[in-house]
Amino acid sequence: MTGPAGDRGARAALADAAARFGFSATPRLDAELLLAHVLGVERNRLLLTLDDVVVPAGFADLVARRVGQEPVAYLTGTRGFWTVDLMVGPGALVPRADSEILLVAALDHFGQRPVGSILDLGTGPGTLLLAALDEWRSADGLGVDRSAAALDYARANAAALGMGARARFMLGDWAAALDATFDLVLANPPYIGTDEILPDEVRGHEPAGALFAGTDGLDAYRLIAPQLRRLVAPGGVAIVEIGHAQGDAVSALLAAQGFATQVRHDYGDRPRAVVAT
């Protein structure tokens, strides 16, 4: 990692890479994460030691793949979410920071009360379930997904986080096969309309089944909403992620099932979740 020509080489390499990532909202961050990954260090460590860094040959390969708009999380194989780091790759939806508002809403609902059981519908690589289990460490949970590839990541993540005994995963079509109640039900279903414009790094690389849900993006909610009432234990809550323009529509679908609803906003102050009690 160290060498006499490190300062000029590392800084120039990062600047050059960032300049090629004009399609990204965070080009410099992308470059730093890729260089830290190929060096096998944390990004903070990289930034503190730039004066000594020699850029490995493998960095150029990662930069070229990023120019092809592969997601950074697929290139590094990990993405941080809430308090956990998750392994991700092709076939698994990349965790987004804005999804953390579902955890914030759950904490607001339960306060100091314990959570015993958690269900995550459309768990992907275990994102919401494992973050929730890290928050409520006496709870156990179940993650359901239609993608066997995503569930492979979820099981690997549970094992890596020491949650293998508390987290179960099953292949399924939402909650159709379930006959149980849960204190906390979380869901991040696909909610993109099939004709909506997405960045190439999303549409071209992330699994379509985790993104698209009919022409209006509401098909998954129409399936999930009737299932939720029998899943939520007394005093419990269901929290469902939404697209920023879907608050009214999803609230109406849940209200038709007898829920009281509240829309919660994400870190960018956009509608991001519906809380149903």
Q: Over 50: is that where the pLDDT of 5 sits?
A: no
Contacts of 96 (CB under 8 A, 6+ apart): none
What pLDDT score was predicted for residue 8?
A: 53
Average pLDDT on 162-191 reads: 97
Q: Over 50: is that where the pLDDT of 70 sits?
A: yes
What pLDDT score was predicted for residue 9?
A: 87
What pLDDT score was predicted for residue 51?
A: 85
| Residue range 191-225, pLDDT digits in tens | 999 999 999 999 999 999 999 999 999 999 999 99
**Model confidence band, residue 149 (pLDDT cutoffs 50, 70, 90):** very high
What pLDDT score was predicted for residue 172?
A: 96
Q: Over 90: is that where the pLDDT of 92 sits?
A: yes
- Percentage with pLDDT > 70 across the chain: 97
Backbone angles phi, psi at 107, to 5 degrees: -60, -40
**Model confidence band, residue 39 (pLDDT cutoffs 50, 70, 90):** very high
- d(C-alpha 86, C-alpha 162), whole Å: 12
Q: Measure Cα distances from 208 to 51, 93, 179, 202, 220 in Å.
A: 42, 9, 28, 9, 13
What pLDDT score was predicted for residue 7?
A: 42
Average pLDDT on 55-74 reads: 97
Q: Where in 74-152 does DSSP place strands (E)?
A: 78-81, 84-87, 117-121, 140-145
Q: Check if the beta carbon of residue 75 is closer than 8 Å to that of residue 203.
A: no
Q: Over 70: is that where the pLDDT of 1 sits?
A: no
| Residue range 106-134, pLDDT digits in tens | 999 999 999 999 999 999 999 999 999 99
Residue with tokens 């990532």: 21
Mean pLDDT for the chain overall: 95
Q: Which residues pair with 118 in a beta bridge?
A: 141, 184
Tell me if the pTM is above 0.85: yes
Buried b (16+ CB within 10 A) or exposed e, 82-91: bebebbbbeb
| Residue range 222-252, pLDDT digits in tens | 999 999 999 999 999 999 999 999 999 999 9
**Model confidence band, residue 6 (pLDDT cutoffs 50, 70, 90):** very low
- Beta pairing, strands 117-121 & 182-187: parallel
Q: Over 50: is that where the pLDDT of 136 sits?
A: yes
